[in-house]
Amino acid sequence: MVAGLLVCGFALGFGWFCLTLPAAGQGIVVERAQAIVVFTGSQARIPSALALWRKGVAPHLLVSGVHQGTESRDLVGKENADGIALGRAARNTFENAVETVLWTNENDIDNIVLVTSDLHMRRSLLYLRCLAPDLEVVPFAVSVRRQARLRGNIKEYAKYLLAVAHCRIAHLPESFPAPQALKSSAAKKS
């Protein structure tokens, strides 16, 4: 009986999870944010964040979770990369959130546009709200086309449930390499 209730609860929650995934491009309702943050992962995330940055949605962009050898010029080519910060320490969604919170705290940033995949958005927002409840986060979801969408949805829903439990004990680590601080005072309250 208990197993049946657990399976039923998981199935109902999974239905809610799938039916309420954010639509691609949903969320940009701010005139101007202080920064855009992108959690690396699927290929469409960084180009989407760069497009928002180039449109002037925010003057600053944090790319969280880049590989150690990546430089800003690798992302923008010959274009001016001022305002782009790279976070190299994050290896998972929780660490993306930690990196983001440390960077926003260091640079006095109170509101961001978060770019990540539609499937990944709910867990990303959960961790950011857990670690920085006062940080205003506007989601910008990027659609991810997958062959095995059902399997990916089940996997992400399970990760979301684990993140809900993790948030009960999660806190900012005492030592974690923060992304570079922005070079000018323009970062502050832009």
Tokens 């930690």, residue? 98
Please check whether residue 84 is in contact with residue 75, taking contact to mean a CB–CB distance below 8 angstroms: yes
Report the pLDDT value the prediction gives residue 25, as an integer from 0 to 100.
61
Which pTM does this prediction carry?
0.83
pLDDT one digit per residue (tens) for the chain, 190 residues: 777 777 777 778 787 877 777 766 655 656 679 999 999 987 789 999 999 999 999 999 999 999 888 888 888 887 888 889 999 999 999 999 999 999 999 999 999 999 998 889 999 999 999 999 999 999 998 887 655 577 888 888 899 999 999 988 887 787 777 676 665 444 444 4
Report the pLDDT value the prediction gives residue 187, as an integer from 0 to 100.
46
Please check whether residue 88 is in contact with residue 177, taking contact to mean a CB–CB distance below 8 angstroms: yes
Q: Where are the alpha helices (DSSP H) in 80-171?
A: 93-106, 118-131, 149-166
What is the Cα–Cα distance from 63 to 115, expressed in whole angstroms?
Answer: 10
- DSSP helix/strand/coil, 99: helix
Write out 18-63 in H/E/C secondary structure: HHCCCCCCCCCCCCCCCEEEEECCCCCHHHHHHHHHHHCCCCEEEE
Residues with Cβ within 8 Å of 161's Cβ and at least 6 positions away in sequence, in order, are 13
105-120: buried (b, 16+ CB within 10 Å) or exposed (e) per residue?
Answer: eebebebbbbbbbbbb
What is the Cα–Cα distance from 27 to 32, expressed in whole angstroms?
Answer: 13
Indicate the CATH number of 22-178 among 3.30.1330.200, 3.30.30.60, 3.40.50.2000, 3.40.50.20: 3.40.50.20
| Start-to-end CA span in the chain (Å) | 56
Domains of the chain, by residue range, sit at: 22-178
The count of other CB atoms within 10 Å of the CB of residue 172 is 12
